[in-house]
Structure formats: structure tokens, C-alpha cells
Amino acid sequence: MSLQEAANISAFSVYMKKTAKKKNPDSSVLKNQLPIKKSSNPGSNKSKSESRRLNGTPNLHKKDGKFEGNTKHKHLNGTVSASIKRKLEVDSKQKLKKKKISIEIKEKKSNKSQKAGKEKQGKKKKKNTIMRVESDEEPPTLVPIVRPSISDLNPKSNINEAERLQMHQLISELNKTDPSPEGYKVFKWLIEPMKPKAFFEKYWESQVLHIQRNDKNYYRDILTTERLDDIFREFPLQYTKNVDVVSYENGIKEIHNEEGRVVPAALYDYYLNGCSIRVLNPHTYDQRVYAVLAALQEYFGCMAGANVYLTPPGSQGFAPHYDDIEAFVIQLEGRKNWKLYKPKGSDVLARDSSPNLKHEGIGKPFMEVTLNAGDMLYFPRGTIHEGRTDDDSHSFHITISVYQHNSYADLLENMLPSALKRAALENIEFRQGLPVNFLRHLGYVNKGDSSEQRQTVVDHVKNLMKILARYVDVDEGADKLGRKFMYDSLPPVLSKPEATYTSKYDGDFMRDGKILNRVEIGMDTEVRLVRYHSIRVVLEDSPKIYYNIDNARVYHGEEEQVLTIDEELLPCVRALQKRYPKFMKVEELPGEDHLAKARLVSDLWEKGLLVTNGPLDPVGDDSSSIEDEESGEECDTSIYPV
């Protein structure tokens, strides 16, 4: 496959091996969903505690926020109390009765439409009524891995093929040799039709932005409930660490987490009893969410995170609260009603998230808005918010977060300790002793005093603070935040062509016990960093390069990655970052020691931090021979595709 052909494939297809399922174009869906059975006493947690003792819906499968399959409850240990038996029997009879009534109603409507001259259409509705009585939404179009043809698209979707192809390109054009615009393109796609420049000028950190699209498929490339169901079954997610089960009723928030691994059958039993499900790190298990976050962190220059929230109809999972992040709430399926309240004073652009808040203390909402699938809601950190679903629709949304602890205060926190250390070392005024018996004039007890001794100390401290500003090194503080960013961030997502020319897939490989394709870095080798924000140079006791290419997709899942280099080679690293995303030859790096430059580039390439502008040249020695010693024929040195 040529480089250009590879560039035309969605970057997500490198990682996602499933192919899209075709939907039945004739399928129709009922509009009346059977209500979920809830506790007769909404203020009691008894039904939830009973559910925790039940295995619950062992054969359920999630589809569009609904469950299909056997819904009969099973007890874990085989011993069911009489009260629970009665409850289950009543619930079962009521559900069967409602189901029967619903089917009869649909059949009557279908018969009526047949008499009106729509016999063919009526038969289809009747058939689907029996098969899909639990669904109230149109089946979603599964996201194709490669570019779809017209025949692959759901004819009911209001996205034409050209728009869908553009959407795929905006999210996944990571195949290009110049990845610098990709973060911008992903962010631009998220907030369309709002332009990024207008967004930052008018809304960023100041106002709420609600984008209504009337296009429920707009964000389906990110995540679906079907994919979430697969994640629950394929990966060992743990309660509390990866998944929270929560409810909020009558002003009380409760957490219903069990111990150990999440089992879908038991988890969905909570859902059917009105509990919300929060998945804390979906990017760990889903490549598409991971790719979106990796692009956004490159664009914003800070860690990007995400949580997923699945809420059943007529429920609320969380109390009113505010967060310490810039929030982009993206509605994937269903709908949710949001209430937003203004933060108070010091809570504007809050540095820390709040505890659960009471309605009595937050006033009236300044905005009430309903998010439907395809809509987006942005609000600044500190904005108090709460969300609740209607009785006839579930909600599935993802909240993408940026700018946690990325303020001037955080920069100053990293600058001032070092500045004070330098000031104390260089300026004797900072080393002079405090006045004798100063504690008699300072502190809480003496705060209201107006003595001359007290005022003298206060004035001198304020003067020292002014002097301290001379010793502040803003670049040093920024590098400390940059080091933290490297440790917090996700590893960058490399496109297929990029990865092909990194140490992951270029260089040595083995065939029949022989090491082939030994390569070397030459003076004419062209290289660039894999991403601008893949490294951070920090001047500590010795120059160090902190990097994120080997980070885990779990937050701090690996140790901090660092490479120590000689101070003489710092200009080379600086040149690589300043030249990004353009390639430059090794000989173009500053410095006269060509061997040292080649070694530095080789070290960075072996760490996976550099990509070359083509395959490296093999070394022509015995250990790297590509000749078959017995046959004399040339061996196949092609690299397996990414």
C-alpha cells in the first residue's frame, strides 16, 4: 500500500477491527416505550439494596440505552426472601401485562393503517412491534471503520455521504505527515458551527455555550451504548476505580458500588432500578475516545480527560455541584435536561471541585436546557450544574474536560518556591532574623492591633515580596507545569505512516532466528518529533527530557518517563522543537560534534520520540545481512503493516 493510499484510511481503522453492521432500511420503531419498573417509595433505598442481592437480568445486552434479552431476575445464592419473591412476582406480572397491552395497542394501530390503504407499511410496523416493543428510538447507524458507500448508510439518517466523509476526515486525518493542525480540526468539529476564534473570544472561561444541531448522529463516531456494553464484557473494569453506580433522590446522593469486577448482568440491574452509571476513564478501553483526547491535549497543551454517563429514564445520578475543569458535555444518545446555576464569588473559575450542594443555597438556575443526541453544552469551571432525564428517554453523554489546574495560580505555585530559594541565597535581606519577640505582635490573636512593631514587620514583608519578583523565573515555572503535563497526559496517537517510520516498526526485526534490517542514523537522515507536546526539556541538576510516548492510557499507570542528556546537546533538542512539524537533517542540528548529534538522534529515535521522513538505511555488515546464507536469495525485509 502506498503512503497516499494509507493516508486515505481512517486513523481509527488502524485500531478498530470491527466492521459496521448494515441496518435494515425497512425497520420501523415504536414511539411508546414500556416504563422501567421503579421502587414504589422513591425516597427509600430498599429496592436498591434488594437489587444488590440479585444477579439481575443475566442475559441482557445493551443496545441504544435499552436492554434486550431475558429479564428474569436470579438470586446469587439461591435463597430468596419471601418479600423479594412477592416483589419479583408482582413486578413480573405488571411488566407482562403492560407489554401485552402495548403490543395490542400497536397491533390495532397497525390494522387501522392497513384499512386506510397502507397494508404493506402496516405489516412492517406490526412485525417490528412484536420484535422491538422495548425500543422507542430509531436504530443508530453503526460507525463504519472505512469510508462507507451510499448503500452502507442508513437511509433514515439526515447525514448525507459527503457530510459523513467530512466528519471522518475531521476526526481522523492523523495519517498525514504534518499532524499539527489535527487538534485544531478535532476541536473545530466538536464545536461546529461555532468558530474556535469566536469561541475563545466570547465564551471561554466566561459564558455557557449551547449548540443544538438536530442531528442525532453527529457524535456517533465517538462512542455508543453498544460499544460501552462490549467494554463491560471485554475488559476487567472495577467498581470505584473505573465505574461508579450512583443515584440522587430527595436531595440525597448515594453510591451503590460493589466490590471487584463489574459484571454487566448485575450492573444493569442497578440501571433498571433507576441508578446512573459513570465510567471514569473510557479512553483506556476505547480507541476512538482515546484518539479524540490525544488530539485535544495537543491542541490545548494540557491534559484532556473524559467521563461517560449513562442515566435511565426519569432519573438523576448526581447532586448539584461544580467542577474544576472546562466542561464540554456531548450528548451521544437520548436526551437530558440540565439546570445551570451561577457560581458565587470565589467559586468562579474554581480551582477545586465542590462537594454535593443543596438547592437552598444555590438560588434559581440562570439557564435550563435540554440536550438531545448530537447537541453540545460548554460551561466554565465553577458553574453549578445538575442533569435529569425525562420519564420516556435514557441519556448517554460524555464529558470532555480540559484545563484542570492550569491557571496563573498554578504557575505561581511552581515559580515562587524556587524564586524564594534564589532570593535567600543571593539577598541578605531575606536571611535577616525576625524581630525579637515578634510573636507578641503577629498572628490571629494580635491581628487587630495597630502597634508600631507590628506595622514595621508587615511593611517589611510586603517590601520583600516586591523584591522577590526580581528572582522569579517564569520559564522555570512553565517547565515544571510541562513536566507535570508529560506525566499526566496520554501517549500520542500515531497514524499508520508515522508509526511505520518510528522505532516501533522500522529497524531490526527477526526472521528464522536471524536479525535483519539493522539500520543507522546518518547525517542526511531527516527527522522530526512525533508531536510538539511529546517532550519537555527541564533544567534540573542535569538537563532532562520528560516524555509521554510510553505513558499508559490509565492515569499515572506507568512511572514518569525521563531521559538525561548532555548540556551541550540542548540546542539540538531546542532546534527539533522549534522546527516542528517540519523535518530537518541531522547535519542541520546546531553543533560541530556530528557523532554526538547522531547519537542523540539515535537515542530519541529508539525511545520512539522521533519519526523519520522515510525508512532508515540498513547497515551492510554480517549481523544485518539480508541474504539467505543457504540459498543466496534476498530475504523479504518488508515491515508488517501497523
User: Does 298 fall in a domain?
Assistant: yes
* Residue whose C-alpha cell reads 526485526 in the numeric block: 509
618 — pLDDT class (breaks 50, 70, 90):
confident
Instruction: Tell me, yes or no, whether 197 lies in a domain.
Output: no
Average pLDDT score, the chain: 78
Q: Residue 227 pLDDT more than 80?
A: yes
Q: What is the pLDDT of residue 360?
A: 94
Whether the CB-CB separation of 346 and 308 falls below 8 Å is answered with: no
Q: How confident is the model at residue 54 (pLDDT cuts 50, 70, 90)?
A: very low
- pLDDT at 520 (0 to 100): 87
**Confidence bin at 141 (pLDDT 50/70/90):** very low
Does residue 120 or residue 464 have the better pLDDT? 464
Q: Give the residue from 306, 288, 301 showing the smallest Cα distance to 227.
A: 288
433 vs 326: CA distance, rounded Å: 45
Distance CA(608)–CA(503), nearest Å, equals 6
What's the whole-number mean pLDDT along residues 157-161? 45
- Is residue 166 in some structural domain? no
514 vs 41, more confident: 514
DSSP string, 176-226: SS--TTHHHHHHHHHHTTS-HHHHHHHTTTT--EEE--S-TTTTTTT--HH
The CA distances from residue 126 to 23, 68, 568, 622, in Å, are 18, 19, 78, 74
| Cβ neighbours of residue 148 closer than 8 Å, sequence gap 6 or more | 20, 161, 164
| Residue 249 covered by a domain | yes
Residue 155 lies in a domain: no
pLDDT at 17: 39
d(CA 127, CA 256): 39
Q: Which residue has the cell 485535544?
A: 296
Distance CA 61, CA 518 (A): 50
- State yes or no: pLDDT of 18 exceeds 80: no
Are 332 and 397 in the same domain?
A: yes
Say if residue 444 is in the same domain as residue 545.
no
Lowest mean pLDDT among 102-106, 372-376, 547-551, 590-594: 102-106
Tens of pLDDT, residue by residue over 488-543, are 999 999 998 899 999 999 888 899 998 888 888 999 999 999 999 999 999 999 99
Between residues 147 and 482, the one the model is more confident about: 482
Q: Is the pLDDT of residue 82 over 60?
A: no
Q: What pLDDT is stored for residue 165 in this prediction?
A: 56
Domain closes at, from 115, 131, 147 = 131
Helices (H), 469-563: 474-488, 496-500
Q: Which of 27-31, 94-98, 330-334 has the lowest mean pLDDT?
A: 27-31
Q: DSSP assignment, residue 261?
A: B
Given this model, what pLDDT does residue 134 score? Answer: 33
* Domain C-terminal end among 422, 453, 472: 472
Check: CB of residue 434 under 8 Å from CB of residue 456.
no
Residues of the chain with pLDDT > 90: what percent?
64
CA atoms within 13 A on the CB side of 48: 22
Type of residue numbered 279: V
What is the residue whose three cell numbers read 499515572? 556
- Of the listed ranges 17-26, 187-196, 258-267, 316-325, the least confidently predicted one is 17-26
Q: Could you report the per-residue pLDDT of 243-266, keeping only the tens digit for each?
A: 999 999 999 999 999 999 999 999
Could you tell me if 309 and 328 lie in one domain?
A: yes
Strands (E) in 140-259, as ranges, are: 209-211, 243-249, 252-255
Asked if 572 and 527 count as a contact pair (C-beta separation under 8 A), the reply is no
Q: What percent of the chain has pLDDT over 70?
A: 68
Q: What is residue 639's predicted lDDT score, i.e. its pLDDT? A: 32
Q: Are 344 and 460 contained in the same domain?
A: no
Are 228 and 369 within one domain? yes
Q: Do 251 and 313 fall within a single domain?
A: yes
Q: Are residues 312 and 423 in the same domain?
A: no
Q: Are 74 and 55 contacting, i.e. CB atoms less than 8 angstroms apart?
A: yes
Instruction: Output the DSSP codes for 102-118.
Output: HHHHHHHHHHHHHHTT-
| Residue 486 shares a structural domain with residue 453 | no
pLDDT at position 518 is: 86
pLDDT for residue 516 = 86
Q: Whole-angstrom Cα distance, residue 52 to residue 275?
A: 12
Does 505 or 386 have the greater pLDDT score? 386
Residue 308 host element (H or E): strand 305-311
426 in the same domain as 378:
no
DSSP state of 159: -
Q: Identify residue 353 by its one-letter amino acid code.
A: S
Quick check: is 188 in a domain? no
Q: How many domains does one find in the chain?
A: 4
Strands 276-279 and 367-372, sheet pairing: unpaired
Both 362 and 338 in one domain: the answer is yes
Helix (H, G, I), strand (E, B) or coil at 246: strand
Q: Which residues pair with 54 in a beta bridge?
A: 75
pLDDT exceeds cutoff 60 at 443: yes
Chosen domain end from 349, 369, 402: 402
Report if residue 196 sits inside a domain. Answer: no
The CATH number given to whatever domain includes residue 281 is 2.60.120.650
Q: What is residue 75's predicted lDDT score, i.e. its pLDDT?
A: 35
Asked if residue 262 and residue 289 are part of one domain, the reply reads yes
CATH number at residue 503: 3.90.930.40
Residues 378, 277 share a domain:
yes
How sure is the predictor about 350, in pLDDT bands with cuts at 50, 70 and 90? very high
pLDDT of residue 140: 32
Which domain covers residue 568, as residue numbers?
482-624
Q: Does the residue 11 lie in any domain?
A: no
Report pLDDT for 508: 87
What's the CATH number where 460 sits?
A: 1.10.10.1500
pLDDT at 200 > cutoff 50: yes
CA gap 286, 298 in Å, rounded: 19
pLDDT at position 100: 47
Q: Residue 65: its pLDDT value, please?
A: 59
Phi, psi of 40 (to 5 degrees): -70, -20
| Angle formed by the axes of helices 408-426 and 474-488, nearest 10° | 130
pLDDT in tens, 284-316: 999 999 999 999 999 999 999 999 999 999 999
